[in-house]
Every structure is written in C-alpha cells, then in structure tokens.
Amino acid sequence: MYPEDAKPRPIPRLDQLGITNLTQRLASTNGWERDMAQRLLIQGSKRPLEADLLRIGANDSSPKARIQVLSTIEGLGMLTPAIVLYGLGDRHPAVKEFAVRLAEPFLRVPPKNGLERNLAAALLRLVDDGSVRVRWQLALTLGEWNDPRAGRALAQIALKDRDDPRTQTAVLSSAAHHVAELLDGIFADTKSGPPADLLAQLLNLAIASRDQASAAKAFEQLAKPSEDKYAPWQMATTGEFLDALERRGSGLEELQANASAGLKKALGKLGGLLDYARKTAETAAASEGDRLLAIQLLGRGPASQPEDVLRLGEILRPQFSAPVQQAALDRLKQINNPQVGETLLAGWKNYGPSLRTEVLSALLSRLEWVRDLLGAIQSGRIAAAEVSPVHQQRLLRHSEEKIRQQAGKLFAARNPDRQKLIENYAVVNHLTGNAERGAALYRQNCLACHQLKGEGNSVGPDLGTVADKPVETLLVAILDPNQAFETRYINYTAVTKSGRELSGIIAAETPNSITLRNTGGADEVILRSDLKELTSSKLSLMPEGLETILKPQDMTDLIAYIRSK
C-alpha cells in the first residue's frame, strides 16, 4: 500500500547483477538489499574476492554494513583468524560483539600458528572493553575455550559486571569447564567482596561436577573470618548455597557424609560461621541487613536445629522489625521439623494481623503442623474465629479425611444452600450502611486478599473495580464465590518433594518455575524440578462461609465502605 500520488521505488533485480556489483550491495543503506545480496553471494556458484569484501568492510561508515560483510564471509566459509582479528579491532562495539562470536570455532581447537595465538590474546584484552555488550558476548564465547586463561577472564568479567544479571548468567553458562579458575579469581577480590549469588552457584557447580578439591579450597576461604568477624558476602553466599542444596533434597549433613576427607574438613569449618550467625541474629546492635543474612543460616546444622527453631520463634516477637520477623518465618517454613509447628503456635497471641495470616499459611504447609493447629483450636489456645475463612476452607477441604472431619466439628456450620442464603441477604438493599464500620470489617476480613483505597494485597480482584456493581452481584461474589469467577483466581495446591504443601493462585509461570501467591499476598517461587504434585481445587481462592462472620448489617456496612469515595 502507498499513496495514490506517490511513485514507489523500483525493486532492483539483484539476481541479474554480476559478482562485483552484488558484492557492493552489501554496503546498501537498505536492509533488504543487504540481506538479499548476502543470500545470493552465499548460494551462488562464484565466490567474491576476499579483497573486495574487506574493502567494503573497511571503508563503509555503517556498522550494519560491516557486520553484514563479516556475516557473508562466515557464510561463504572464508573466515580466518586474521579476519576475526580485523573485526575485533573495529571502532563500533556492535561489530566487535559480532566478531567475538565469530572467534568461537578457532577457540575449540589448539592454536596452530601465531595468528591464532594473537586472536586469543585480542579476546582476553576485551575483558576491559568499555561496552557491556562486548563483555557479555565474550563471557558466552569463552565457554568454547578449554584454557585456564578463559576461567580467569570469566572471573574478571564477573567481578566487573557484578550488578548486571545478563552478564552473570553468561558467565555461569561458560563456567562448566572453568570452575576452579573462576573460584580462584573471584575469591581474589578482597576489596568489595565476591558476588554472593554467583559464588553460591559456582560452589554448587563444583559439588555437582564432583570437583571436590576446588570445592574444599573454596569452602576454606568462605569459612575464614577476619578479626573474628564474617563479612556479609560470606553469610549471603553460604545461605544461597545451602538453599540450592536443600532444593535438591540434600543438606549440609548429607553433603558432609558423602564428602572426601579434604572437603569434609573444609565443610566442618563452616561451624564457626553458623555460630557467628546465631549471635548476630540475636544481637540488637547488629544492623538489620546483617541480621537478615544471619537468620538465613539458622537451622542448617542438624545438631543445632532444635535450638535454632526456638531462636527463630523468639525473633517472631513484636520487639523485632517486620522484615526481621518475616525472614525468621520464611526460614522456619523451610525447616522440616515437627517442633516448628508448636513453636509457631507458642507465639500466636503476640502476632499482628498480617503475621497471623502468614503463620496460618505456614502451619498449613506440612501435615504434622496442620495437626498441631487443629489441636490448638480444639484446646482453646486459638479461637476458631481467629482462623480466617480462607484457611478454614483449606482445612475443610483437606486431602486427609480425618482433618476434614475434625475441621468440620471445630468451625461453625456453613449454609449449603447458597442460593437461599443470598435470598435471605437481599434485606441488605433496605438497610443503611455505615462506611466507617465497613472499613474495620474490610481490614479484618478482606485486606489479606484484596486491595481497596491503597490498602491490602493483590491476590483477588481490586474491590475498587467492582464498587459500582449492583448489590445483588456483590452478594453473589461474597456469599457464593464459586458460582462464577475468573480462572486466574482458581486455587492451586502444590506439594514439593521436601513435603511442603502450598496453596494459592498461580501468579506467574516460567519454563522452569511457578509462582504461587497465597492469602496475605506472599509469593513463593517453586522450581518445576522440585514439584511432586500440582493440582487445581476447581474452586475460587475466595472462601465460602463468610455468612458466619458477616451478618446482613455487617454486609451492608462493608458494601457501604467499598462504594464510598
């Protein structure tokens, strides 16, 4: 399509051009012409002269044209170390980046001459190139080079671009044959400290590849204090390493049991770091950042786990900041120990509303903790009314029949005839609501899953988006949520290989993981390789049974608040 008064540019017949003219079209400002010229040159029976191709690459001001020339040379099978060196010396970073990739075939074989050795030296100099894209491609390319210098260069790139996730991923993709050199190079950075995430992954790679000598050497340095203190990166690295180990169904005890004598000795030295973490977690003078890192290390040593569980329970008390409390709860959730359930219940009376929601979700994640919760409700330590309708619904629909039966006796009976119930609540249309009382009801019963007027969590729909709906529609949504709902609000239950049972909506999915968002808005990322089972309840996360909490006047007040400006 083009305007009626315009004359379209004629499409050139490149297939009718001679080899010299076709070669010159690689310098065209039109991308289609460059691509078509390259295709015809590669597929043609006659080869262009290398000198003609290099002349265009040397004289053209467009980096796109220079890349096209290099790509054509590669496609024609005319690539040499000299041509790659020519590309690496280009003034534009995009051309250099492309030339770095072109060097890969020459790195896969031992160098035969001086030119190939010069090529390797030129690549190593690019570690300090000013373009992050060049360094990123270099990190990818060095994985093709089985030479100790590649590992040392990768370490330099990793430290230089420690804050660039893409480059860190590129380094890891090339790390398999260079773990020892990478670890040595990264540990040599004593000024700013190694990047903890990368270092933890390299340690796991060393363990997985059975390079126990390199792992032992690394753990010796990781466990070495400076003036009886450990740096934040040492705690962060150890925490992330052990997290990855536990995701694979292992732990520090299992690792030590199967380790060589040298690795076992090095791992034993982590005891000093774990002791330091316990003291830091409890020291009021420690910074919040250090305490958060220290908490991640509690409960890791099997001998000290019972003591650490109690220590984490104490950190849930209101004297500690919300982030520190959350870190302690997150750590407790990961510890598969029957003592955790009772520890979580012991502090119940001291928890604020949001922490109670998180604790209930944690208690429902393991079968033995569920039994502890039901026992606490039965004994009166926790009132049945203190358990939110969402968590009640999970107990009433639990996979174990005994738990369903016990929960049915503990919680107020629900009206099975939802339609009749909605008809009974039609009186709401004739009552006068109090928005101030409705605000309190919203905070008590809805805030954990819904947002409204800047408060709450985005698990279910934002209640502000339904404020103009008829009362009848709101009553159905609140009292009979399973009559109709969007599929994105279906409740899923995930069981991990470590025995945890998590529930919530699927907030995100990637090829390797799913993210469940639970009541309270907390996200939990689960690797697909860690999943034992994922099932849909075919029901909305929104619970039935709110009539046991919200009488008609309460419902009127709540709707008044939802509709208030």
Residues 559 and 423 in one domain: yes
Residues 316 and 340 in one domain: no
Residues 222 and 353 in one domain: no
CA of 97: how far to CAs of 93, 424, 532, in Å?
6, 71, 43
Q: What is the average pLDDT value for the chain, to the nearest integer? A: 90
Residues 433 and 559 in one domain: yes
Domain for residue 545, yes or no?
Answer: yes
CA distance 37 to 162: 41
Residues 223 and 274 in one domain: yes
Report pTM: 0.75
Domain for residue 171, yes or no?
Answer: no
Residues 315 and 344 in one domain: no
Contact 198, 165 (CB under 8 A): no
Percentage helix, strand, coil for the chain under 3-state DSSP, each rounded to 5: 60, 5, 30
Domain for residue 192, yes or no?
Answer: no
Q: Per-residue pLDDT for 192 more than 80?
A: no
Residues 271 and 286 in one domain: yes
Domain for residue 13, yes or no?
Answer: no
Residues 497 and 557 in one domain: yes
Q: Which of 367, 386, 413 is the last residue of a domain?
A: 413
Instruction: Please write the tens of the pLDDT for every residue from 79-126.
Output: 999 999 999 999 999 999 999 999 999 999 988 888 889 999 999 999
Contact 131, 97 (CB under 8 A): yes
Residues 423 and 534 in one domain: yes
CA distance 454 to 349: 28
Q: Which residue range forms the structural domain that includes residue 302?
A: 213-231+238-321
Structure-token pair, residue 328: 């302690």
Instruction: Please write the tens of the pLDDT for every residue from 479-514.
Output: 888 876 677 788 888 888 888 888 888 888 888 889
Domain for residue 467, yes or no?
Answer: yes
Residues 409 and 423 in one domain: no
Residues 438 and 538 in one domain: yes
Q: Which of 292, 321, 350 is the last residue of a domain?
A: 321
Q: Which of 413, 435, 453 is the last residue of a domain?
A: 413
Structural domain total, the chain:
3
Domain for residue 102, yes or no?
Answer: no
Task: Give the model's pLDDT for residue 414.
Answer: 62
Contact 158, 198 (CB under 8 A): yes
Residues 299 and 381 in one domain: no
Domain for residue 196, yes or no?
Answer: no
Domain for residue 341, yes or no?
Answer: yes
